Amino acid sequence: MFLNGKRALVTGSTSGIGLAIARAYAAEGAEVVLNGFGDAAEIERLCAELGARHVGADLTRTQGVEELMEAAGPVDVLVNNAGMQHVAPVESFPPEKWDAILALNLSAAFHTARLAVPHMKAQGWGRIICTASAHSLAASPFKSAYVAAKHGIAGLTKVLALELAEHGVTANCISPGYVWTPLVENQIPDTMAARGMTREEVISKVLLDKQPTRKFVQPEEVAALAVFLCGDAAQNINGANYTIDGGWTAE
């Protein structure tokens, strides 16, 4: 229970990867703050399961991030995980989707970090972890906003790592390949339209084709690394971008 006495905020933790990270932190004794949308009764059940609080702020809005940070209080571990996807050719990519994806997948991480850092610096300890993506290192067609935002968050994380290195605070990215979550499931219909494929073809020829293992990554595998990065053994891991992608970005 090495996270006893530590407060961990995981954005976008009502589902998928964020929920797995929140569960893993709670299992290590952290006081977890959940964020994200979902069914109210299910979120209440999750809070009871994890002994957590939930703040449902909309992080596409700067004010929403500020409300989240105010309600959370000082955080020791910050995981910028909330994200969304939209799949469309660039000429028909809706500008409002571009704005929302950049706001949530990139700008929200700047705003959480700027508000979390003063406490981390003052106490001389902190961990910032960003769920980036294999798309922080490599591109795919029809994902202009997502790829731009994920390359951006990888850069932002390096800057945080350099600025905070002397203050006992580390900042790192975890970059999964395809993990079977609602974010992936929801992009299948648009990918079918953009590429003229069936659902089965999208799964085997677009998603799993990227991963030499031909298997989806499990959320718990991402969570295990997020736990490791909080430990003393990871105190000199700073500014790194760890892939968990079955070999996708090795090609």
Residues serving a catalytic function are 146
Residue 147 touches ligand NAD, criterion: CB under 6 A: no
Pick from 199, 88, 183: nearest CA to 142: 88
Residue 2 touches ligand NAD, criterion: CB under 6 A: no
Cβ(110)–Cβ(44) below 8 Å: no
Residue 59 touches ligand NAD, criterion: CB under 6 A: yes
Residues 6+ apart with CB under 8 A from 167: 120, 121, 124, 126
- State which residue, 125 or 211, has the beta carbon closest to ligand NAD: 211
Tell me the C-alpha distance between 81 and 61, whole Å.
15
Q: In this structure, what token pair is assigned to residue 168?
A: 């006992």
Q: In this structure, what token pair is assigned to residue 228?
A: 């490791």
- State which residue, 144 or 181, has the beta carbon closest to ligand NAD: 181
Buried b / exposed e over 109-144, threshold 16 CB at 10 Å, is bbbbbebbbebbbeeebbbbbbbbbbbbbbeeebbb
Secondary structure letter of residue 215 according to DSSP: S
Q: Which stretch binds ligand NAD (CB under 6 A): 11-19, 159-167, 194-202, 226-234?
A: 11-19
Cβ neighbours around 199 below 10 Å, total = 12
Q: Provide, rounded to whole angstroms, the least separation between the CB of residue 80 and ligand NAD.
A: 8
Residue 173 touches ligand NAD, criterion: CB under 6 A: no
Residue 83 touches ligand NAD, criterion: CB under 6 A: yes
Total residues interacting with ligand NAD, rule: CB under 6 A? 29
| The only residue of 27, 55, 148, 183 in contact with ligand NAD, by rule CB under 6 A | 183
| The only residue of 9, 17, 43, 75 in contact with ligand NAD, by rule CB under 6 A | 17
Residue 246 touches ligand NAD, criterion: CB under 6 A: no
Tell me the C-alpha distance between 210 and 217, whole Å.
12
- State which residue, 165 or 221, has the beta carbon closest to ligand NAD: 221
Q: Provide, rounded to whole angstroms, the least separation between the CB of residue 16 and ligand NAD.
A: 2
Kindly provide the residue ranges of all beta strands, DSSP E only, lying in 50-168, ordered along the sequence.
53-55, 77-80, 126-131
Residue 247 touches ligand NAD, criterion: CB under 6 A: no
- State which residue, 38 or 155, has the beta carbon closest to ligand NAD: 38
Pick from 84, 96, 99: nearest CA to 133: 84
Contact residues: ligand NAD, CB under 6 A: 12-18, 35-38, 58-60, 81-84, 104-105, 131, 133, 176, 178-179, 181-184
